[in-house]
Amino acid sequence: MTNVIVEHRWKPKEKDEVVKVVGGIVDMAKTGKLPEGFKLNSIQLVGSEDMAICNWEAPSAEAMRGLLEKVNPPTKHKVYESTKIF
């Protein structure tokens, strides 16, 4: 498993759709319905910036990118492989 950070940004007019998609993903995480190998650790919302930072465990950063392509969130996003030190 790889620790992956996903930075999402959206336009203010897209906020309602973003909230809907995030709610669905949170529900999937809580009910164990995320794809095998994926675990959502946290979501940090920076509302003043129309941005969220999501921390995942995933098979790889590339696998995370593939999942994002399937989900197609209404955001511009960047995926970073990271090393958890704390």
pLDDT of residue 86: 82
pLDDT of residue 35: 97
- Show the domains of the chain with their CATH numbers: 2-82 (3.30.70.100)
pLDDT of residue 17: 94
Question: CA-CA distances (angstroms) from residue 67 to 36, 58, 62?
Answer: 11, 10, 9
Chunk the chain into consecutive blocks of 10 residues (it has 86) and report each block's average pLDDT, rounded to whole numbers: 96 93 94 97 93 97 96 95 89
